[in-house]
Chains A and B, each alone.
Chain A
Amino acid sequence: MILQHIADGILSGAIVSLGAIGLSFTMKLLRFANFSHSELLTWGAYSALVFLAFFLSFGGFLDGTIGPFSFGPALLLAMLCSCAATSVIAILLHRFVFDRLSRAAGQMTMVFASFGVALILRHLVQLIWGSDPIYYSNELQFAVLLPGNVRVMPDQVFLLVLTMFVVAALHLFMTRSRTGIAMRGVSENPDLARVSGINVDRIITCVWIIGASGAALGGVLYGTTVQLRPELGFGLILPLFAAAILGGAGSLYGAVLGGLIVGLSENLSVMIIPTTYKPAVPFLLIVAILYFRPQGIFGERSR
């Protein structure tokens, strides 16, 4: 039983990790807590639905499933398009709301604005697609029995592998590419980065693209392994913040590890507290980490 909870925890933690990467980066670079970040997961999941219908309309090899999975090439293509679409949404929000406010007012004004943006984004989804749960596919899937009597769906294995692949790719990007190194520079000290000739605005756009794509992937994977609901992202606000704060703002590995810790503690908590109180677990983690190590596991103490 405990092994099953651990497996479930790692799987739900992987989704939280994908979402928390962007939240953690924007918290560090733009210095504000973006309450609307989780809505990007919702938009990622639902925009993939549109692209999926588009690709399925071509039929042929797109319309089918790969191996044991519930989805086929169409969903993989839709997932990529959804990353692009979600990035466009994030960049537009930055241009027209967050960037203007960061110049005109303070960081707290940006937090209020993110409340408003979250309300708009979440209810637009409800307005367009309705409140009923939606599924990408009606394919039935059979759980695979792993040693230790642990059941996982093939889709969940895909989710885990994709998350590991994304984190590895981001690691290479942050350490090897010029843009990635510049990004770390901006997050350390934006003024110094600017005088060193780094185009800070371009770097910030990059951060939004990475964050929004991570959120879109998280949303689509949530949609494949659970279901699509307008409150999909809203229910993840606290887990995402818990993961970002646990790991330390701005840290890639922190966000990933934070996500896993959140997923594991949520799923293991049901062994000691009633399941109905599970959503409070991320909050307890937030309070605990802010009390004992406010800079997070991998964060540096701010000066």
Chain B
Amino acid sequence: MIGVVSYLVFFLILSLTFGVAVLGLNLQWGFTGLFNAGVAGFIAIGAYTMAILTGPSRDAVFGGFELPFVVGLAGAMIASGIGALFVGLATLKLRHEYLAVATFGIAVTIQLVCLNWEYLTGGTLGLIGIPNPTKAWAEGPLIQNSLYLAIVAIVVGLTIAALELIVKSPWGRMLKAIREDEVAAASLGKSPERVRLEAFVLGCMIMGLSGALYVSFIGYVSPWDFLPILTFQIWTMLIVGGSANNRGALLGALIVWGVWTMSGFVLSRVVPSEIQARGGAMQAVLIGLILVVTLLIRPRGLIGEELQVSRHARS
């Protein structure tokens, strides 16, 4: 029984952590129509910033400032935001598919930097010993993990509350206006370029936050955690749940991560150990199938966007 509960806690921590990244992507794609195919890169920036700010100091590697957890979270958001600002200034002029290709390339480049800039990132070995604040608060992994789940839940709650506030604000309506018809929005005196950049930076900051939560929980960071497949997983979560709906984004994260871990569990039991590596390939095929089938039979996702009508238009 305890085993099931502790596994459930573990599962919820990871899926909600990814859920935060999905919320960031939802702001970019769901509400603003920005095709960011470099999600993994911005999660990586947040993750490494957390590791550098809060991790133990070590020889020959930069960082290890042993700063508090909350400072790490804030730093991760700021670092991802700065990265996004530069990327956005260079690429947001591009439309749709070119933006997708360019951001995909950025994520590949960021991963290369993580892999090769040993002084900053520890290279292929990554950075280990990242502290988990709950270790100091309680004894026993189950209680520690439950406390960490509470932290993640609070972060998710705050993020959703902030996003709902933003989306319902005049600025949020402007996002949708730009998504639907950029020319019309511009003709009303709005500046689409500026608003798109703001939404892009904000979304990437949320992705950085997700990376920071991930690293503190796992305890180490390695460049192999941020391969392009992570971007595809986050996108699948958003599409399955339903874009332009924050609850949908979170639901998608739970379902897709659930399918991923359950299929991994089943495969590890069914598939003989000498071809375990191929079991991982099965999981990826499954995620791809879920994405394609969802697009074919329910393109708006499980819970898609709610139709919003101006209160002046209601009879």
Binding site for B on A (CB under 8 A): 27, 32-33, 35, 97, 100-101, 104-105, 107-109, 111-113, 115-120, 122-124, 126-127, 130-131, 237-238, 241, 245, 274, 276-277, 279-280, 282-283, 286-287, 290-291, 294
Contact = CB atoms under 8 A, between A and B. Distances in A.
A109 B116 contact: no
29 contacts: A27-B97, A105-B295, A105-B299, A108-B35, A108-B96, A113-B292, A115-B288, A116-B236, A116-B287, A116-B291, A116-B292, A119-B232, A119-B291, A122-B284, A123-B282, A124-B285, A126-B277, A126-B281, A127-B278, A131-B277, A237-B104, A277-B116, A279-B112, A280-B105, A287-B90, A290-B91, A290-B102, A294-B94, A294-B98
B101 A107 contact: no
B97 A111 contact: yes
Nearest to A97: B292
B283 to A, nearest CB: 8
Contact of B288 (A100, A120, A277): A120
A33 B299 contact: no
Contacts, number: 128
Given A113-B292, A116-B292, A117-B292, A107 B97 contact: yes
B106 interface: yes
A280 B282 contact: no
Number of contact residues on B: which range applies?
35 or more
B98 A283 contact: no
B236 to A, nearest CB: 7
Contact of A101 (B277, B284, B295): B295
Given A122-B284, A126-B277, 4 more contacts: A120-B292, A124-B285, A245-B101, A291-B90
Contact of A116 (B90, B100, B289): B289
Nearest to B94: A290
In terms of DSSP, what is the predominant structure of the interface of chain B?
helix
A182 B178 CA distance: 37
A274 B289 CA distance: 38
Contacts of A241: 101, 105
A41 B94 CA distance: 28
A237 B108 CA distance: 11
Nearest to A285: B105
Contact of B284 (A97, A107, A119, A287): A119
Contacts of B290: 116
A108 B108 CA distance: 21
Contacts of B104: 35, 237-238
Contacts of A276: 112, 115-116
B235 interface: yes
Contacts of A131: 277
Contacts of B37: 35, 115
